[in-house]
Amino acid sequence: MELTKIELTGFKSFAKKTVFRIDTPVTGIVGPNGSGKSNVAEAFRFVLGEQSVKSMRGKTGADLIFKGSKGLAQMSRAKVELTFKNDTSQENESPYASFSEITLGREIYADGANEYTINGSKVRLKDIQELLAHNNIGASHHHIISQGEADRVLHASVKDRKEMVQDALGLRVYEWRLKEADKKLTVVLANMREAEISRREIAPHVQFLKKQIEKVQKGTELRSELAGLYHTYFAQEEAHLHELESKEPKDFEDIKKHLDEVTKKIQLHRESSRTSLPEEITKNLIKNQDALRALEIRKGSAVRAVIGLETEIRILEETIQDAGNKNQEETEVFEDGVVPRKEAVLFAQEVRDIHEKIIWRFDHKEFQELPALLNLLKARVHSFESFLTSKHVQKIPTSRIDVSALTQKLQALKASLEKAAQEEKELAHSFSQALEEKARIEQEKDAYRENSLEGERALFELEKSRTELLGKLSLAEVKINQLRERKERFEAELAEGAVLIGSSIFQYKNTALTAFDQHVQDEQRKKIERLKLRIEDIGVVNVDEVTKEFESVSGRDQFLANEIRDLEESKAKLEVVMAELRTTLATTFDKGLETINAHFQKFFTTMFGGGDAKLILTEREKRSRTKDDEESVGDEEKETETGIDVTVSLPHKKVKDINMLSGGERALTSIALLFAMSQVNPPPFLILDETDAALDESNAKKYGAVLNELSEHSKLIVITHNRETMSRTHALYGVTLDIDGSSRILSVKLDEANAYAK
């Protein structure tokens, strides 16, 4: 950059806006003491960012603002601007390298507040310093040499002198970069520590949330499996419920209707069972009973008649017995006129047997065989009678048997038998009719009773049906209750399923149906219950909140991990940059120091007409005292610091210690060193504020000769009283106090003045 002008407004004695145009290589500023010419050098310091008000001959920031005079009021602020012409064709890392003109500004207010600008835009002091560092203008201000400070480079400590040399070598930008890198590294390390601490702090929560997410994922898997089971289960269950709803109530109503019908039939049967035996049947039954009683009476007579035969039969037996006694003759065969006794006894015995049978039958009321026995008895009597009337029996002498008497007896027995038979026949007929009538009446009665029994059986069957129907109705009612409970359970399970897996539960309606199997359905339900228990074991986890929190925390953890990785990369890069900067600094410093020594020797020889001068890199111990506490005396700690020492050897003298030099010698040595330092990386300008005040005429000429050489690389602003120095300038600004108490300037270009004088 090339300095073109400096503009002061309200700065110290320059109340009014004052512009110094720097158009020539050497610009001189002259004026009487107290006119304010040194305020120009301080204005340079001010605008370049000087923070020490003391170095600008003030105590507070307000001391840099015009205080006012009789003719002018006090100013509330002071402002200084430096304008540079920038060569945009040169490569420069400055952020303002593309601007053809750069104006630095600084404004200070009465309260001490400062404002920095670059091309009118507010910036930080750091931005100003960075821009200046890129143009070889450092904070040590080796390019501004004020009155009485020419030899400060010799009085400076080895460390400060080293910083001046670094400024002169343009290493300040590297130092600045190194410091910035070190600051960044410190920040990076601090951020790394904070990130690692933060990551360690959230690590347990991340693990907890991770487990929660695993639970959520497991729960999601279980819920997905549960959803599949639910869809199949609910689809089958709903279809089965619809089937039961269409069947069970209808079955219940059908059973109830059938039960009502059976109940009505039972009522009718019970009402009909209360009717007594019909009257006609009752009358006939009584009449028949009377007839049977009459027949019983007649039967008694017949029995008596039959029993009466016993007398006649006994008489017949006696007759035959008597006949046997009279006739002692026994024969086995018939002879003329003879009846064998054996035949007669046999006949009597048969009659007795038959009679006994008849009596037994009467006694036991077995009347069915009586007619046959009576006929048998009658036939046997008839047969014996026929035997007696045969020709054989008639020839038997009467002395042997009374045939006629026997015949009479037989006739009497026959008559009795016929009478008994007739009586028995009539009695049997009547009894048969009575029995038939009784059988008919009994049949009617039995038919009625059978009908009644059938009714009772029907009633029993109806009661049985009613009992069965009541059981079926109860079972149907139980089934309906079970259906209602099953439906309620279905709705409860559906609601529970909606809670567990959400609205997707209702997708079961799209599930294909298979043949219903209650066993399969029960197994599905058991699986569902087991899955629900597993889901309950996982616990209730708010999926959205946990997922959101996990994403947030894991995102934070990942961010911190990425940040740590980035910081580690930045740390590595910064360490590489810092190593490179240190290498560059060391290399450039060593080479630059050699170059400065060459120029220092050159300018020193010019100033003193010979001799030697050199800068030496050195290390010295420094002492520092630290207080551990109020009672401790302190411990001395030895430290070393690297710096630069100055060695000189004047011609014709053996003086080597700079502290042994005279004032003029020290001034010339300082000027030679400062000029040498400015030649390595020439700054855009050099300000020399009465640095020649201590020089005599001879040395002033040498000083003036050096000015011409320096102006080839930097613009010089020389504040002087020395005529020799004035003669070396190309333009002069005269500073004087105006009648209003402020400084004002007059300018003249010496070339033009000389031409005008000629």
Going by pLDDT thresholds of 50, 70 and 90, the confidence category of residue 249 is confident
Output the CA torsion sign for 419, 425, 426, 430: positive
Going by pLDDT thresholds of 50, 70 and 90, the confidence category of residue 627 is very low
pLDDT tens column, 659-678: 777 777 887 888 888 888 87
User: Bigger pLDDT: 624 or 171?
Assistant: 171
Asked if 44 contacts 687 with a C-beta cutoff of 8 angstroms, the reply is yes
Give the integer Cα–Cα distance in Å for 680 and 169: 6
pLDDT tens column, 682-720: 888 888 888 888 778 888 888 888 888 888 888 999 999
Going by pLDDT thresholds of 50, 70 and 90, the confidence category of residue 335 is very low
Going by pLDDT thresholds of 50, 70 and 90, the confidence category of residue 427 is low
For 88-103, what is the mean pLDDT? Answer: 78
Find the distance separating the first CA and the last CA of the chain, reported in whole Å.
36
Q: Is the pLDDT of residue 758 over 50?
A: no
Question: How confident is the prediction for the chain on average, in pLDDT?
Answer: 79
3-state secondary structure of 20: strand
DSSP letters spanning 30-61 = E--TTSSTHHHHHHHHHHTT---SGGGT-SSG
Going by pLDDT thresholds of 50, 70 and 90, the confidence category of residue 12 is very high
DSSP letters spanning 275-343 = ----HHHHHHHHHHHHHHHHHHHHHHHHHHHHHHHHHHHHHHHHHHHHHHHH-----SS--TT---HHH
Going by pLDDT thresholds of 50, 70 and 90, the confidence category of residue 425 is low
Characterize the bridge pairing of strands 114-118 and 121-123: antiparallel
pLDDT for position 124:
92
pLDDT for position 147:
61
Q: Copy the structure tokens of residue 508.
A: 């079961």
Output the CA torsion sign for 248, 249, 251, 252: positive
pLDDT for position 344:
67
Q: Domains of the chain by range and CATH?
A: 1-135+685-758 (3.40.50.300), 279-453 (no CATH)
User: Bigger pLDDT: 63 or 297?
Assistant: 63
DSSP letters spanning 563-626 = HHHHHHHHHHHHHHHHHHHHHHHHHHHHHHHHHHHHHHHHHHHHHHTS-EEEEEEEEEEEEEEE
pLDDT for position 630:
46
- Tell the residue number behind the tokens 């370049």, with chain if given: 48
pLDDT tens column, 109-134: 999 899 999 999 999 998 888 888 77
Asked if 691 contacts 150 with a C-beta cutoff of 8 angstroms, the reply is yes
User: Bigger pLDDT: 595 or 401?
Assistant: 595
Q: Copy the structure tokens of residue 589.
A: 């410093």
Give the integer Cα–Cα distance in Å for 701 and 606: 11
pLDDT for position 80:
96
Amino acid at 318: E
pLDDT tens column, 133-188: 777 776 556 678 776 666 677 778 888 888 888 777 777 777 778 888 888 889 88
pLDDT for position 114:
94
pLDDT tens column, 507-519: 888 888 888 898 9
Other Cβ atoms closer than 10 A to 209: 21
Instruction: List the single range of 478-482, 630-634, 677-681 with lowest mean pLDDT.
Output: 630-634
For 28-34, what is the mean pLDDT? Answer: 90
Closest by CA position to 116, among listed 83, 75, 65, 80: 80
- Tell the residue number behind the tokens 């009547």, with chain if given: 430
3-state secondary structure of 53: coil
For 60-75, what is the mean pLDDT? Answer: 89
- The structure's pTM equals 0.50
DSSP letters spanning 661-700 = S-HHHHHHHHHHHHHHHHHHS--SEEEEESTTTT--HHHH
pLDDT for position 733:
93
pLDDT for position 633:
44
pLDDT tens column, 547-593: 888 888 888 888 889 989 998 998 999 899 889 988 888 888 888 88
For 202-224, what is the mean pLDDT? Answer: 84
pLDDT for position 310:
60
- Tell the residue number behind the tokens 């000015």, with chain if given: 707
Give the integer Cα–Cα distance in Å for 450 and 433: 24
Give the integer Cα–Cα distance in Å for 12 and 39: 7
Closest by CA position to 415, among listed 426, 423, 405: 423
Asked if 685 contacts 648 with a C-beta cutoff of 8 angstroms, the reply is no
- DSSP annotation of 513: P
Element (H, E) at 467: helix 403-501
pLDDT for position 159:
84
For 49-63, what is the mean pLDDT? Answer: 87
Going by pLDDT thresholds of 50, 70 and 90, the confidence category of residue 211 is confident
pLDDT tens column, 460-480: 777 888 888 788 888 888 888
Task: Print the SS3 string covering 694-715.
Answer: CCCHHHHHHHHHHHHHHCCCCE
CA 660 to chain centre: 86
Give the integer Cα–Cα distance in Å for 84 and 215: 69
Other Cβ atoms closer than 10 A to 691: 26
Other Cβ atoms closer than 10 A to 50: 17
pLDDT for position 338:
47
Give the integer Cα–Cα distance in Å for 321 and 337: 18
Going by pLDDT thresholds of 50, 70 and 90, the confidence category of residue 363 is low
Element (H, E) at 736: strand 731-737
Give the integer Cα–Cα distance in Å for 617 and 589: 10
- 502: region left, alpha or beta (phi > 0 left; psi from -120 to 50 alpha): left
Give the integer Cα–Cα distance in Å for 160 and 138: 13
Give the integer Cα–Cα distance in Å for 756 and 758: 5
Kindly report the length of the chain.
Answer: 758
Most confident of the following: 157-171, 289-303, 451-465? 157-171
